Amino acid sequence: MQKPKLTSGALPLVGHLFDFIRKQDELLQRGKTEHGNIFALNLMGKNVAVLTGAEAKKVFFKETDKTLNMEEGYEFLAAIFGKVAFLADHSTYMNHRPILHALFSRARMTGYLDVMVEVVSEWMDGLGENGEMEIGSEMIDLVKEVAGRSFLGAEINKQLGADFWQAYDDLSKALDPVLPPHWPLPKFIRRDRAKKYVSSVLYPIVRERRANPQDDPFQMLVDVRMKDGELPSEEIIVQLLMALLFAGHETTAGQAAWTVIQLAQHPRYLKLVRAEVDGVLGKGQDFDHTTLRNLSHVSMAVDETSRMRPSAETIMRTAESDLPVGDFIIPKGWMVQTATAVDHFMGEVFDQPDLYDPLRFSPERAEQKLDSHAIIAFGGGLHKCAGMNFANTEMAVITALLFRNYDLELITPETQVERGLGSSRPSQTWVRFKRRDK
Ligand code: HEM
């Protein structure tokens, strides 16, 4: 069997690195056009097999933690959070997994929804009657507040202060899956300083809570047992907290901002959303899980944005031994990745994939059902995003309440995808807002 064929345009030494950072979607589409669903890239001398299409993706998710190793691809995250949960080896991960499940149980989600509604309502009170805002940075502040209050509780979150979240920004800026994370670069030095600061704030909070239990959401994280029946150490709780506050932040903020931007760009669909939010939230009803279920047009808008503008565009693994996929063999040591830029735009699955059309997710059309991994914005298989419901709920709450209460007009004519190495987000986008008549 043959190895996946190299996509054109690789430069000496760096390979496809520059295209991967600046024009990832074009690069991945080029690979597919030239070689079909399975093709190769070169990133600074590393061979990377890209697996797209239903069959190859199935292998990708099924082989994760077997032939496909997650640890190496996430060394840049482990350099921040330590070897915890999905950043650890498989058996440690399975031991930590009940903590993730407990955090996102149905009962907990009800509490989180209340926090989300409270935080978004307070934010809108602060916006006032009219003005202008940069939607991306507003979303970052919102989701930080939601994550902090959800996982630590309102009181502890208040004590964290601006320095804590500033340190998180330094952690975000050091996300880099390509350069070795221990290189003495300024961004990695700032990362290590920020990490030290964040843990120095969190350790005493965890220690104090172990000594003096209270009845709040944070206590659950401190008390939940691992698969082996043991309580997690202070170190594990601090590492998990750091990772949760982080995961609940950049990815969600980016997709939330895009959801708002794409709706403002598509007034015909926005009309359907408006009619829905006015009907469901019109008379100041409580915003609970039943309300959420009735906001199907909002939820389809959130899904369409996850398809077209996913924050996590690729997921990386490493082949631990030779792996046959379709007609190809991926040699041991190669990196292996998925590609939303190809899969979320497959003509075989999605009708007119380049069009913004949230109704493709309606029960009548349900285009995504053609492939069990049609949408991989939140991954798939064993490691599928633990916070997916949390993020989708948060994005729906923000969208519903914002468009229920405000008219928005885009000032920035065209928003671009801004690619960091870790996740993508919208370029600076200014909107004018005006409170609607109640
Ligand atoms: C729009 C927002 C989000 C996106 C696009 C996203 C994306 C992803 C993706 C693609 C994965 C799979 C990684 C892999 O297989 O290598 C993942 C895993 C994970 N995500 Fe998210 N995520 C989001 C929000 C969140 C939130 C809000 C949380 C928690 C507060 C969270 C926590 C996690 C955790 C713990 C995992 C690892 C799960 C496991 O290994 O079992 N994510 N996420």
Q: For residue 11, with 0-12 CB atoms within 10 Å meaning exposed, 13-18 middle and 19 or more buried, which class applies? A: exposed
Ligand 1 midpoint to CA 253 (Å): 13
Between CA 88 and CA 108 the distance in angstroms is: 25
Atom of ligand 1 nearest to the CA of 147: 30
Q: Which residues contact 110 (CB under 8 A, 6 or more apart)?
A: 288, 289
Atom of ligand 1 nearest to the CA of 143: 27
Residue nearest to atom 35 of ligand 1 (CA): 386
First to last CA, the chain: 66
Average per-residue pLDDT in the chain? 93
Domains and CATH numbers, the chain: 17-435 (1.10.630.10)
Residue nearest to atom 18 of ligand 1 (CA): 385
Mean pLDDT of 414-419: 90
Between CA 80 and CA 371 the distance in angstroms is: 35
Secondary structure class of 411 (helix, strand, coil): coil
Q: Read off the pLDDT band of 422 (50, 70, 90).
A: low
Residue nearest to atom 1 of ligand 1 (CA): 252
Which pLDDT score is estimated for 229?
94
Which pLDDT score is estimated for 218?
87
Q: What confidence tens digit (pLDDT) does each residue in 99-110 have?
A: 998 899 888 899
Q: Read off the pLDDT band of 72 (50, 70, 90).
A: confident
Q: What confidence tens digit (pLDDT) does each residue in 353-395 have?
A: 999 999 999 999 999 999 999 999 999 999 999 999 999 999 9
Q: Read off the pLDDT band of 165 (50, 70, 90).
A: confident
Residue nearest to atom 43 of ligand 1 (CA): 385
Percentage of residues in the chain having pLDDT higher than 90: 77
342-to-28, 38, 350 alpha-carbon distances in Å: 7, 11, 11
Q: Which has more pLDDT, 169 or 261?
A: 261
Ligand 1 midpoint to CA 338 (Å): 15
Of the candidates 172, 325, 159, 135, the one whose C-alpha atom is nearest the C-alpha of residue 246 is: 172
Residue nearest to atom 7 of ligand 1 (CA): 378
Residue 421 has pLDDT above 70, yes or no: no
Mean pLDDT of 158-169: 86
215-to-41, 98, 210, 278, 385 alpha-carbon distances in Å: 51, 20, 12, 36, 27
Between CA 74 and CA 254 the distance in angstroms is: 20
Q: What confidence tens digit (pLDDT) does each residue in 259-291 have?
A: 999 999 999 999 999 999 999 998 767 888 899
Q: Which has more pLDDT, 352 or 245?
A: 352
DSSP 157-179: HHHHHHHHHHHHHHHHHT--SSS
Residue nearest to atom 40 of ligand 1 (CA): 383
Which range has the worst mean pLDDT, 44-53, 75-84, 91-100?
75-84
Ligand 1 midpoint to CA 143 (Å): 15
Ligand 1 midpoint to CA 86 (Å): 10
Which pLDDT score is estimated for 120?
97
Mean pLDDT of 19-44: 94
Atom of ligand 1 nearest to the CA of 151: 30
**Residues in contact with ligand 1 (CB, 6 Å cut-off):** 70, 86, 100, 244, 247-248, 251-252, 255, 310-312, 315, 377-379, 383, 385-387, 390-391
Ligand 1 midpoint to CA 312 (Å): 9
pTM: 0.95
Ligand 1 pocket test target in 242, 336, 385 with most atoms within 8 Å of CB: 385
Which pLDDT score is estimated for 42?
97
Q: Which has more pLDDT, 79 or 295?
A: 295
Which pLDDT score is estimated for 21?
85
Ligand 1 midpoint to CA 383 (Å): 8
Q: For residue 126, with 0-12 CB atoms within 10 Å meaning exposed, 13-18 middle and 19 or more buried, which class applies? A: exposed
Ligand 1 midpoint to CA 61 (Å): 14
Q: For residue 106, with 0-12 CB atoms within 10 Å meaning exposed, 13-18 middle and 19 or more buried, which class applies? A: exposed
Which range has the worst mean pLDDT, 49-58, 194-203, 254-263, 411-420?
411-420
Radius of gyration of the chain (CA): 22
- What's the token pair of residue 190? 């700032």
Atom of ligand 1 nearest to the CA of 73: 16
Percentage of residues in the chain having pLDDT higher than 70: 98
Ligand 1 midpoint to CA 389 (Å): 10
Residue 438 has pLDDT above 70, yes or no: no
Atom of ligand 1 nearest to the CA of 243: 35
Mean pLDDT of 331-345: 97
For helices 135-152 and 388-405, the axis angle rounded to 10 degrees is 130
Q: What confidence tens digit (pLDDT) does each residue in 115-159 have?
A: 999 999 999 999 999 999 999 999 999 999 999 999 999 999 988
Between CA 261 and CA 265 the distance in angstroms is: 6
